[in-house]
Structure 1
Amino acid sequence: MKLNRRNFLSATAAATSVMAAPTVLRAQGALVLRMGHPHPETDSWQDTALWMAETLEEKSGGEVTLQVFPNGLIGNDPTMINSVRAGSLDIMVTGNPFFTSLAKELNVLDLPYLFQDRDHVSRVLDGEIGDRLRTGFEGTGLFALSVWETGWRHVTNSRRPVTTPEDIRGLKIRTTPNPAHIEAFRLLGAVPTPMAFTELFTALEMGAVDGQENPTTLILNSRFYEAQKYLSLTQHAFTAAPLVTNAAKLEDMGDDLRALLIETAQEGAKRQRAINVEREATSLASLKDAGMQVVEEPDREAFGSFVSDQVQTTFAAEFGSELIDQINGAA
Structure 2
Amino acid sequence: MSNHIPARLAAAALSLALLSTSALAEVKERTLKFGYSTFEAHPLGQGANKFVELVGQKSGGKIKMKVYPATQLGSETQTISATQGGVQDIVGTSTAPLAGLVKEYAIFDFPFLFANEKEADAVVDGPVGQTLLAKLSEKNLAGLCFFENGFRNITNSKRPISKGEDVAGLKIRTMQNPVYLESFKTLGANAVPMPWPEVYTALESGAIDAQENPYGIISVNKLNEVQKYISVTKHAYSPWAVIMSKKLWDGLSEEERTIFVSSCNEAKDFQRKFSRAEDAKIVADLKSKGMMINELAPEEVSRIKTTLQPVIDKYTATVGEDLVKQAQASIASVH
Tell me if 1:25 matches 2:24: yes
Contact 1:105–1:133 (8 Å) recurs in 2: yes
Q: Which residue of 2 aligns with 1:279?
A: 278
1:12 CA displacement: 1.9
Aligned residue type for 2:45? Q
Q: Distance in 1 between matches of 2:77 and 2:28?
A: 32
Q: Which residue of 1 aligns with 2:307?
A: 306
1:96 CA displacement: 0.7
1:60 CA displacement: 1.5
**Number of residues paired by the alignment?**
328
1:20 CA displacement: 3.9
SS of 2:239's equivalent? strand
Q: Which residue of 1 aligns with 2:151?
A: 152
1:236 CA displacement: 0.6
1:116 CA displacement: 2.1
Tell me if 1:10 matches 2:8: yes
Q: Which residue of 1 aligns with 2:85?
A: 86
Measured against aligned partners, the alpha-carbon deviations of 1:155-185 in whole angstroms (never above 9, x if no partner) come to 0011222111111111111112222111110
| Percent identity (aligned) | 30
1:296 CA displacement: 2.0
SS of 1:109's equivalent? helix
1:29 CA displacement: 4.4
Q: Which residue of 1 aligns with 2:205?
A: 206
Gaps of 5+ in 1: none
Q: Which residue of 1 aligns with 2:36?
A: 37
Q: Which residue of 2 aligns with 1:122?
A: 121
Q: Distance in 1 between matches of 2:52 and 2:257?
A: 15
Cα–Cα, structure 1 residues 316 and 28, in superposed 2: closer, same or farther, change >3 Å?
A: closer
Q: Which residue of 2 aligns with 1:58?
A: 57
SS of 1:61's equivalent? coil
Q: Which residue of 2 aligns with 1:321?
A: 321
Q: Distance in 2 between matches of 1:110 and 1:217?
A: 18
Q: Which residue of 2 aligns with 1:161?
A: 160
Cα–Cα, structure 1 residues 64 and 13, in superposed 2: closer, same or farther, change >3 Å?
A: same
The within-5 A match list for 1:175-214 is 175-214=174-213
Contact 1:84–1:245 (8 Å) recurs in 2: yes
Greater Cα offset, 218-227 or 23-32? 23-32
Cα–Cα, structure 1 residues 153 and 28, in superposed 2: closer, same or farther, change >3 Å?
A: closer
Cα–Cα, structure 1 residues 297 and 65, in superposed 2: closer, same or farther, change >3 Å?
A: same
Contact 1:26–1:257 (8 Å) recurs in 2: no
When normalised by structure 2's length, the TM-score is 0.92
Q: Distance in 2 between matches of 1:187 and 1:272?
A: 34
1:108 CA displacement: 0.9
Gaps of 5+ in 2: none
Q: Distance in 1 between matches of 2:40 and 2:74?
A: 15
1:14 CA displacement: 4.3
Contact 1:153–1:237 (8 Å) recurs in 2: yes
1:28 CA displacement: 6.9
Contact 2:27–2:253 (8 Å) recurs in 1: no
Aligned residue type for 1:289? S
SS of 1:39's equivalent? coil
Q: Distance in 2 between matches of 1:327 and 1:129?
A: 6
